[in-house]
Structure 1
Amino acid sequence: MIRLIWNASVHIRYFIRRYMPTNIALDAIRTRRGLKWGLPAMLLTLPYLYAASFCLQLIETGAPGWLHLIVLVCIWNAMKFFWIGPISLVLLIRERIREATAARRIEAAPTGSAEQPGQLAGAHA
């Protein structure tokens, strides 16, 4: 029974990671090219919170109770986009530091002389 539940959860997680638009966007933001979009992506928190608020108002006026699921999904997505901003900023700073360190190492590396390694100075083949 536990194995069945485990397999089902793995397949559901794979499906959600692969095909849900918010997860696709967050995966794109976590790449090196996408890190700069983390802070602007935080603005997507507002439409999700507005949609959740709108659904709650509908529920209070007599709409079906299944809209609570939409509210939960909207709040969950809002939290995901809210947290990607600071996380992407930290990742971007860490990557820039790593790139600057690598660039300094290349600049500080001694330039190769005209001689090939293992050859004596002045000896020509």
Structure 2
Amino acid sequence: MLMTTLWNLSTRTFLLLRRTPVNRLLDKIRTRQGLKWGVPAMTLGLVYFLAAAICTTLIDGGWSTWLYLPFLLFAYNGMKLILMGPISLILLARARTREVIAHRREKKFTRV
């Protein structure tokens, strides 16, 4: 009974987190057509870090410590977007290399 409840709770949490806008954006960036948008998405990561900095400033100013929750969320999403920039460049280079190799093979076999 407890294991089933924990399993259902973890599944629902996973599905909830998959539907967040940042994760949807990262899923789109990971496609072949979306790889070129990895570096511009890094600027959105900077906006998330700015929001995290604003949260810490408000906490230092005497606001509620509950602002640590959005701070963690903003910092985590910002890190994901910042890291996706270089990763998307590596994936784009790998995809283009594979396309060039496939094109050369196709060209080689059509000549014969």
TM-score bin (small chain): over 0.9
Tell me the TM-score normalised to structure 1 length: 0.83
Tell me the TM-score normalised to structure 2 length: 0.92
**Structure with larger Rg:** 1
Q: Aligned equivalents of 1:50 and 1:29: distance in 2?
A: 22
How do 1:39-58 and structure 2 match up within 5 A? 39-58=39-58
Q: 1:110, CA displacement in angstroms? A: 4.2
Q: Displaced runs of 4+ in structure 1, greater than 3 A?
A: none
Q: Aligned equivalents of 2:110 and 2:38: distance in 1?
A: 38
Q: Give the fraction of aligned pairs with identical amino acids, expressed as a percent.
A: 45
Q: Hey, what does 2:92 align to over in structure 1?
A: 92
Corresponding residue pairs, total: 111
Q: Aligned equivalents of 1:82 and 1:51: distance in 2?
A: 14
Structure 1 residue runs without a partner (length 5+)? 113-125
Q: Please identify which structure carries the higher helix content.
A: 2
The one of the two structures with greater contact order (alpha-carbon pairs below 8 A, sep at least 6) is: 2
Q: Hey, what does 2:8 align to over in structure 1?
A: 7
Q: 1:76, CA displacement in angstroms? A: 0.2
How do 1:60-99 and structure 2 match up within 5 A? 60-99=60-99
Q: Hey, what does 1:115 align to over in structure 2?
A: none
For the residue of structure 2 that corresponds to 1:31, the secondary structure is: coil
